[in-house]
Amino acid sequence: MSDIATPRIGARRDRPGGPANVRRAAWAGMVGTMLEQYDFIIYGTASALIFGKVFFPTISPAAGLIAAF
């Protein structure tokens, strides 16, 4: 038999599901989600206030707003 697939007794293994790694992944997910939400808020505000007037000046304001979104 080959001992490649079986770990040695007493061998130290990293614990990918350990509490420190889970906490680190949770923080990384929270920071990523916060940045994404910030981006959505900034784009939504800019498209409602600026993009319609800048990129679609020849159509009506309502149509420009819809086109910007």
State the Cα–Cα distance between residues 51 and 26, nearest whole angstrom. Answer: 35
pLDDT confidence of 7, banded at 50, 70, 90?
low
List pLDDT tens digits, range 35-55. Answer: 999 999 999 999 999 999 999
Cα 6 to its chain centre, rounded Å, is 38
List pLDDT tens digits, range 56-68. Answer: 999 999 999 999 8
60: alpha, beta or left? (left if phi > 0; alpha if psi -120 to 50) = beta
Residue 7's SS3 state is coil
State the Cα–Cα distance between residues 33 and 15, nearest whole angstrom. Answer: 25
List pLDDT tens digits, range 14-30. Answer: 567 788 889 999 999 99
Tell me the domain boundaries of the chain.
19-68
